[in-house]
Amino acid sequence: MGEVAAVTRLLETTALSKTFGGLEAVRRVDFRLERGEIRAIIGPNGAGKTTLVSMISGRIGPTSGRVLFKGRDITGLKAWDRVALGIVYTFQVTSIFKNLTVYENVALAAQRRLMKGALGRLTLPQHILAEPVNRALAQVGLADVGEQDAGSLPYGHQKLLEVAMALALRPEMLILDEPTQGLAPEEITALSLLIRALSRGVTILLIEHNMAVVLDLATKVTVMDKGGLLAEGTPYEIETHPDVQKVYLGL
């Protein structure tokens, strides 16, 4: 069993903690993510969800504990170094440039990957950028609007553009923080279908408050409360868990 776990386990945290002043935002979290999962993290406001994924992505460092990716200790790596390994957090690419075209926004992300994090103006030949950019736009259904200014897109399409920018970074694990927030019902349905399609090639970790989305998409759910793990299980197990019903679902 240990050998199988070593092959399938993508991410692991051990006693991961973060303290801000006297506030323990995340406390000794042991978290495991297997390849191919759509894992949802849920919990009330202030439960520590965003802090946990920020430590996983490298946006903030832990006070104590470790983060392992494919068996490698990455606790000391900066955010971009983790992107280069395949950990992409949508907050790292969500600041779209509204005065640039849709294509140019994705090209900036693709170039950053190809240039190993270097910033600046587009310098790579367009024929090198075209393939990854067009592939990412096609994956999210924006292939026909590449020449439009990003700022002219409806909000739902801007969210899709953010996902395309993330895909241009070639993630092995894609972290989505509240991806359906602010979307209309039909946009939520379309984004859920996209996430399910992406999960065939990318492991998905999402923070999501929309329980209908969580129950429909997730293969496994992690519930946080007061900085720790309250429960983990299948969507059905979580929906019927008495502690979850009391703390989060208000039942």
Is residue 110 over pLDDT 60? yes
Q: Which residue in the block uniquely carries the two structure tokens 């895909």? A: 167
Is residue 119 over pLDDT 60? no
Residue 102 CA, distance from chain mean position: 21
State mean pLDDT over 150-154: 94
CATH numbers and ranges of domains, the chain: 34-62+76-89+171-251 (3.40.50.300), 94-168 (no CATH)
pLDDT tens digit sequence for 161-213? 999 999 999 999 999 999 998 899 999 999 999 999 999 999 999 999 999 99
Instruction: Quickly state the pLDDT bin for 112 (edges 50, 70, 90).
Output: confident
CA distance 160 to 192: 11
pLDDT of 124: 56
pLDDT of 113: 78
State mean pLDDT over 16-38: 96
CB 48 within 8 A of CB 24: no
Structure tokens at 246: 């009391």
Long-range contacts of 77-86 (CB under 8 A, 24+ apart): 80/117, 82/57, 82/58, 83/113, 83/117, 83/169, 84/113, 84/116, 84/117, 85/172, 86/170, 86/171, 86/172, 86/173
Instruction: Quickly state the pLDDT bin for 251 (edges 50, 70, 90).
Output: low
Assign 167 to helix, strand or coil: helix
pLDDT of 122: 47
pLDDT tens digit sequence for 34-77? 999 999 999 998 999 999 999 999 999 999 999 999 999 999 99
Is residue 249 over pLDDT 80? no
Which ranges in the chain belong to alpha helices (H)? 2-8, 49-57, 79-85, 102-114, 126-140, 155-167, 185-198, 211-217, 235-239, 242-244
